[in-house]
Amino acid sequence: MTKQQHRWNLRLKSSNVYLGTVYLGDPLPEVEDVIMIGEKKYTILELGSNRDASDVFVEEVKKK
């Protein structure tokens, strides 16, 4: 039996630019969590209404 995966279409909140699709297992990240995509960190700002396959809006975490 395979574990369920959730498809998230990642988009930048400021410009609605499509970053790519990621497939995540449980537990899913929540708003304000930080995720890594390649070498960059992104903060989750907004989740779509359908958590199985939805647009997720993020912003890049700026280095200090």
Residue percentage of the chain with pLDDT more than 90: 45
- Residues 25-52 have a mean pLDDT of 86
C-beta of residue 58 within 8 angstroms of C-beta of residue 22: no
Domain that holds residue 52: 3-58
- Residues 12-33 have a mean pLDDT of 90
Adjacent-strand bridge partners of 42: 35, 60
Mean pLDDT of the chain: 86
Position 64 in a domain:
no
Position 31 in a domain:
yes
Position 63 in a domain:
no
- Residues 20-43 have a mean pLDDT of 89
Asked whether residue 58 carries a pLDDT value surpassing 80, the answer given is yes
pLDDT of amino acid 61: 94
Q: Residue 63, Cβ neighbours under 10 Å: how many?
A: 6
Whole-model pTM: value is 0.80
Q: What is the rounded distance in angstroms from the CA atom of residue 23 to the CA atom of residue 3?
A: 11
Please count the structural domains in the chain. 1
Adjacent-strand bridge partners of 46: 57
